[in-house]
Amino acid sequence: MSKLLRRKAIVAAEDQPQEHRLARTLSWPHLVALGVGAIVGTGILTLIGVGADRAGPAVLLSFVVAGAICAAAALCYAEMATMIPASGSAYTYSYSVLGEVFAWVVGWSLILEYSLVVATVAVGWSGYAVGFLSGLGIVLPDVLTHGPTVVGNLADGFTITEAGINLPAIFIIAVVAGLLMLGTRESATVNTALVVLKIVTLALFVAVALPYFDPANLEPFAPKGYGSVEGDGGVKYGVMGAAAIIFFAFYGFDAISTAAEEAKNPERDLAIGIVGSMAACTLIYMIVAAAAVGALNYAQFANSPEPLALILREIGRPGIATIIAAAAAIALPTVLLAFLYGQTRIFMVMARDGFLPTSWARVSKRGTPAVITLVTAIFVAIIAAVTPLDLIASLANAGTLCAFIAVALCVLVMRKRAPDIRRGFRTPAAWIVAPLAILGCIYLFTSLQSVTQVSFFVWNGIGLLIYLIYGLARSRATLPSSK
């Protein structure tokens, strides 16, 4: 039992072996852009339609609920990131505060979150790319534009009805991975430019749609209720049911905490990056959601794969709709970049800790973990190319909720264990904010579909088995020398 609960001593970035040392090249504007790039993506561009289908105009409240829970979690992340300025995010915090077995569960859940987000976004970008190429007269064979088509359910089993491999998804992952291997600062510069494009795109939507705001479109406000009620196929409706899905649109700020060893001034820059990106995105989402719901009756864009563009076409602005769709496709890789970046840093730290081959943690001459970036890109590209993501994509939410709960718990434990330790940022009203984050995440987890909940526990059961058979004996953790 003592081995399961052993805690890792945090080694300062400057004290890491030279071959594992990352270059400090990022300032707070880069980190804010990284967070906004991760947060503003497929969520607001597509999930507002899914949320409207489940909650009606009350999807506005769903955004408030999901945003409030994520804001509480973000404040907890900011405290832990400035107190433990090391790569690895929630995995590292859990390892140093809660113990090894908890860190493994969190790390295993983060693999679920980051890998599925990257794969899902890559597949979404592939759809835009295929349509764009078709418009130019370049038609790819259908078998190269999607993964296998699967039908069925958990009770009766699944059947592959059509083979396929998503070549455009592999391509965009390769491009983003290549950019990350080129250099972190170079990647951050490109990311910042694309983030500005995304913000301008959403501002254009609001400017065009807001004049069409009609209060009648908000009636009835909550046709599916305010709680979480299960409907056909296990889908959960109502404000909370929609919030559990819309939650996907908010997370991404946690990717900033993985940049701790590359921030020029981590105590200042990490807090600004995490809290700043979360505040900016919450404001952006509320304005965009209000403009969307007010401009068109929710039933007309519910479940649309491109709700914002659809709304603009319905109100007679097809030209602007085309611009919005094109800009979204161009800027979508910022989500890939942020999450692939975060995934590589988490894998790198797990390699340092012995859970993966230590050679994977080596840093190239350009100061980037090139080997682990390549390995991660291959791993995620395989998922994006051949996995029927519609069956498992919501698992990303479950993995993230697990990580958020762990970080909030770490804040409370450290407030008791080491109340006087230096904190570059202190969570305000921590004994209120952290429990709210924990309870909110637990409630959102119960609002997910039953198949998602079961699959999450199966995934972690497999992970624990791997840990007991493989990871436990290979861990290189050392006990902290102080508190």
Contact 336, 383 (CB under 8 A): no
Say what percent of the chain tops pLDDT 90: 16
Single pTM value for the model: 0.80
* Mean pLDDT, the chain, integer: 81
pLDDT at position 483 is 40
3-class DSSP state of 86: coil
Distance between CA atoms of residues 450 and 452, nearest Å: 5
Say what percent of the chain tops pLDDT 70: 85
pLDDT at position 388 is 55
Cβ burial of 214 (10 Å; 0-12, 13-18, 19+) is exposed
pLDDT at position 233 is 61
Distance between CA atoms of residues 90 and 381, nearest Å: 24
3-class DSSP state of 105: helix
Contact 346, 352 (CB under 8 A): no
DSSP element (H, E) containing 149: strand 149-153
306-358 pLDDT, tens digit per residue, is 788 889 889 988 888 888 777 777 777 878 888 888 888 888 888 888 888 88
Count other Cβ atoms within 10 Å, centred on residue 450.
12
1-52 pLDDT, tens digit per residue, is 567 777 777 655 555 565 556 667 778 888 888 788 777 776 676 677 778 8
Query: How many residues would you count in the chain?
Result: 483
Question: And the tokens for 437?
Answer: 């984050």
pLDDT at position 481 is 41
- Return phi, psi of residue 72, to 5°: -65, -45
Q: What is the dihedral of CA 402, 342, 363, 19, to 10 degrees?
A: -30
**Average pLDDT for residues 113-125, to the nearest whole number?**
79
Tell me the CA end-to-end span of the chain in Å, nearest whole number.
20
200-255 pLDDT, tens digit per residue, is 888 999 999 999 999 999 988 888 888 777 766 666 778 888 888 777 777 777 77
